[in-house]
């Protein structure tokens, strides 16, 4: 009703009349003609969400392309792949970045498909979806006019009563946003871990420094951008829970918690859009590989021996691990000392091409 008053008064101003001259233009009899909060509010929410989804889709695409750029840039860097945080097998830093890019590619596609879910609106249904107080001609034409005005492919719900009382579509869309948030949280934490140290941690990548340092620990630069992204992801997951509860709490012909749904959903869309943009610009594009650390880890880790198994066998591999540990030498030194394979063969087996080959 407040919006109706604002529109009515603005119309009066444009006509050269005084605000409040409701005998000329009435907030209820004119502006709200053939309408109800119960059909206009959810329709407006869907339009707002679609526009924000389009922005988010582009931001996710940009983030995906940033990781693809790093995939190419780091394709030649062999490193340790880890499972359960333990050294596992060799991979490349480029391949690690490619997995992140692919995760965001899925997110982008899911977000793109959300518009199909939101384009069906209940405008014209008025109070509970029966169209009470609205001429049939208005009900059949109003969505067409709205489609022209918004340039969004809106469609009138076939069952306006269902479209008014059941708002599960917002749970579905919120779930897609939560899926994107889980990828943001996982990947931002991975980058923090890979950059940890830098002297006593993994230190395989260097993130752009975005703060002067610690107030008490000289030289300590925290990964504040991934941390901010992670916190946004957690907030989005919380809002998804709010959405689920609010959408399920409607009674009979109307969901009375649409304002809460709108607040949680629109906040998630804006937060995620900002997170993706900041993550890309202030973190991902500036990632530098620490090739020296990656190389040193490959030479020292038991994961390297796995790449040699097709040539030397499992039993010999275990022997070389024990030799390296007992003599405090690298895996490479232990293997070459045996003269079972040449240095050229060793380098070929741990090359980016061999590491990235599908199968043996």
Active site residues: 214
Degrees, nearest 5: CA angle 102-108-112: 150
Nearest to 115 by CA among 176, 186, 31, 206: 176
Q: How far apart are CA 311 and CA 290, in angstroms?
A: 29
Task: Please give the torsion angle defined by the CA atoms of residues 288, 275, 47 and 102, in that order, rounded to the nearest 10 degrees.
Answer: 40
Helix (H, G, I), strand (E, B) or coil at 88: strand
Nearest to 308 by CA among 355, 264, 268: 355
Q: Do 302 and 81 form a contact (C-beta atoms < 8 A)?
A: no
What contacts 260, CB < 8 A, 6 or more positions away? 242, 246
């Amino acid at each position: 009703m407040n919006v109706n008053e604002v529109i009515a008064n603005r119309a009066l101003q444009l006509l050269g009349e005084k605000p409040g001259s409701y005998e000329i233009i009435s907030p209820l009899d004119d502006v709200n003609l053939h309408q109800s909060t119960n059909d206009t509010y959810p329709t407006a929410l869907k339009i707002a969400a679609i526009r924000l989804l389009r922005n988010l889709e582009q931001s996710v695409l940009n983030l995906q392309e940033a990781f693809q750029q790093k995939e190419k840039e780091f394709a030649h860097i062999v490193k340790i792949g880890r499972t359960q945080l333990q050294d596992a097998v060799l991979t490349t830093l480029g391949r690690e970045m490619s997995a992140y890019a692919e995760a965001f590619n899925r997110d982008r596609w899911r977000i793109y498909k959300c518009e199909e879910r939101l384009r069906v609106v209940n405008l014209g249904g008025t109070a509970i979806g029966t169209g009470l107080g609205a001429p049939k001609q208005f009900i059949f034409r109003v969505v067409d006019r709205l489609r022209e005005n918004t340039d969004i492919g809106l469609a009138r719900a076939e069952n306006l009563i269902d479209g008014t009382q059941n708002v599960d579509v917002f749970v579905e869309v919120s779930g897609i946003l939560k899926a994107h948030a889980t990828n943001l949280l996982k990947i931002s934490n991975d980058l923090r871990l890979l950059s940890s140290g830098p002297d006593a941690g993994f230190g395989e990548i260097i993130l752009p420094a975005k703060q002067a340092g610690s107030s008490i620990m000289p030289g300590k630069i925290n990964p504040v951008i991934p941390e901010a992204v992670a916190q946004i992801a957690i907030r989005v997951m919380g809002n998804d829970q709010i959405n689920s509860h609010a959408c399920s709490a409607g009674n009979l012909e109307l969901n009375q918690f649409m304002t809460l749904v709108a607040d949680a959903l629109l906040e998630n869309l804006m937060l995620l859009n900002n997170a993706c943009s900041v993550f890309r610009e202030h973190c991902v594009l500036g990632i530098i590989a620490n090739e020296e650390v990656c190389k040193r880890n490959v030479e020292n880790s038991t994961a390297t021996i796995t790449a040699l198994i097709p040539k030397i066998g499992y039993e010999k591999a275990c022997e070389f691990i024990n030799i390296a540990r007992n003599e405090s030498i690298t895996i490479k030194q232990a293997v070459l000392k045996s003269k079972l394979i040449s240095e050229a063969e060793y380098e070929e087996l741990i090359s980016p091409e061999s590491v990235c080959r599908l199968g043996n």
